[in-house]
Homo-oligomer: A and B are copies of this chain.
């Protein structure tokens, strides 16, 4: 990780997490429900999605606090999707980031409801950003609803489960990832553009960047499942191979997957070149995603 990116994360991560936790702590709800919601929010994670919202805002010299609020809304969606994905009827995972999954601690019923509540809360959080125009709030809510729902993340999850039953080809695999993980990453980056009043051309370039970063992120995930250790990953390594899951290395070989990863990395950088601003943090982010070990 470059020094610049490191500094950016050191500066912004505490503000993101403080905003995220306070948005949940201040609601009036049964204690056990709040505790279960906060348990998964506080279980760590790289906070890549909120960091992207903030990074795009900073690209436009937009320092408004709402970048952290939008980032928190995205992290709530991401976290609810992990809670539900880990349920016995889905991936049946006992550990997440080295800690017991939500349903192992709170039971399946409360885990399901904590996920539901985080999903719902994210939209309320966006609606209540009084310093953002009602039009921009509506645009963000509309984009998040599409990115997180049947047309995005949830639809991708359905395709992913379906794909476990058969071999996917490369276009099918890309389609899964563009929806399952790409849609929310794209939202994070596009939301920064909406909050900052980016031009149509700038927004288009950022969406293009998001597309390639999203796929690069997933390819590296697949590669790490093969070359990483469980300790580094905080989850069981080698799970994809064991379950004969369709992955980039399985379809392209490990070398082919690394080549594909580099292609998307280069295309992400190229997209940024059309933006006449200091995009170094976004470039550093792209590099980090390609070289990360967990």
Contacts and interface: CB of A to CB of B under 8 A. Distances in A.
Interface of A: 27-30, 32-34, 37, 80, 84, 87, 89-90, 107-110, 112-113, 115-117, 119-121, 123-124, 126-128, 133-135, 137-138, 141-142, 144-146, 148-151, 154-155, 157-159, 161-162
A33 B150 contact: yes
21 contacts: A29-B154, A30-B159, A33-B155, A87-B89, A87-B112, A89-B107, A89-B108, A112-B112, A117-B150, A117-B154, A117-B155, A119-B120, A121-B145, A123-B145, A124-B149, A127-B142, A134-B134, A134-B137, A134-B138, A138-B138, A141-B141
Nearest to A145: B124
Contacts of A123: 123, 141, 144-145
Given A108-B89, A138-B138, A158 B116 contact: no
Given A30-B162, A109-B90, A150 B134 contact: no
B155 A29 contact: yes
A110 B18 CA distance: 34
A154 to B, nearest CB: 4
A117 B81 CA distance: 11
A64 to B, nearest CB: 18
Nearest to A125: B145
Residue of A120, A135, A155 most packed against chain B (CB within 10 A): A120
Given A27-B149, A117-B150, 18 more contacts: A27-B150, A28-B151, A30-B158, A87-B89, A87-B112, A90-B109, A110-B158, A113-B154, A113-B157, A113-B158, A117-B154, A120-B149, A120-B154, A123-B141, A126-B141, A127-B145, A133-B134, A137-B138
Contacts of A124: 141-142, 145-146, 149
Nearest to A148: B120
Contacts of A112: 84, 87, 89-90, 112
Contact of A151 (B27, B148, B155): B27
A172 B76 CA distance: 29
